[in-house]
Amino acid sequence: MAQTKRNWLWFYAVLGVLAVAAIVIPFFVMPMIHGLEPLTPDKLQAARKMWDRYGPRDYDMEYRKKGSVSGTFVVQVRDGEAVSVTMDGRPIDPAGYRYHTMPVLVDDLERFLEMAKKPDSPPVILRARFDPQDGHLLKYIYSVPGTSQQIEVSVRLRRFVP
C-alpha cells in the first residue's frame, strides 16, 4: 500500500514539473533561443521611425510565415509599393500586393499590441527583433499561451539596386 502511494507521488511530481515546463518554455526559453525581446509600443515606434528615415524605397523581401496562414512570400517593392508578390512560388492576385510591404508587417505588430491592451484580452506573447541599421523587421512571434493561436514571421530583406 505504501509503495502504491509513493508511485502516485512520483506521478504527480513529474506532472507538476511538466506543467511548469509548459509555462516556462514559451515565455522564457523560446524567445531567448530566437534572440527576441518583448515588444513594446516604444520599441515599435522607434523601429518605424528608423525605417521611415533609413529604410529603402526599393527592396526585395522574402518572409516566411507560420501560423493561421503559412507560406513563403517573395515580394518586390519599388518606390514603396509592392509590384510583385508570390506565395510558395505562385503569384498572388495583384489586389493583395498592398498587404505585403514592410510598413504593413509593422502595422500587424501594432494591431497585436492594441489587441493585447484590451481588458478582456488573454495574455499574449509578443516578441520581435528589428534591424539596427534601418529598423526593418527581422522576426516576430505572437502567441496566446494555452491555445493553438501562434504566428511566427521571419524576414530577409535586400535593397534593390538597379
**pTM for the complete prediction?**
0.76
Binning pLDDT at 50, 70 and 90, where does residue 149 land? confident
Q: Is the same domain home to 6 and 66?
A: no
Q: What is the pLDDT of residue 11?
A: 75
CA dihedral 98, 100, 102, 105 (to 10 degrees): 110
Q: Do 51 and 13 share a structural domain?
A: no
Q: Which of 26-30, 120-124, 151-155 has the least mean pLDDT?
A: 26-30
What length is written for the chain?
Answer: 162
134 lies in the same domain as 106: yes
- Same domain? For 93 and 129 the reply is yes
Q: Do 26 and 41 belong to one domain?
A: no
Cα distance between residue 95 and residue 41, in whole Å: 30
Q: Tens of pLDDT along 85-137?
A: 999 999 999 999 999 999 999 999 999 999 888 888 888 889 999 999 999 99
For 142, the grid coordinates are 505572437
Q: How many domains does the chain contain in total?
A: 2
Q: Which domain holds residue 140?
A: 36-159
If phi > 0 it is left, if psi is from -120 to 50 it is alpha, else beta; for residue 51 that is: alpha
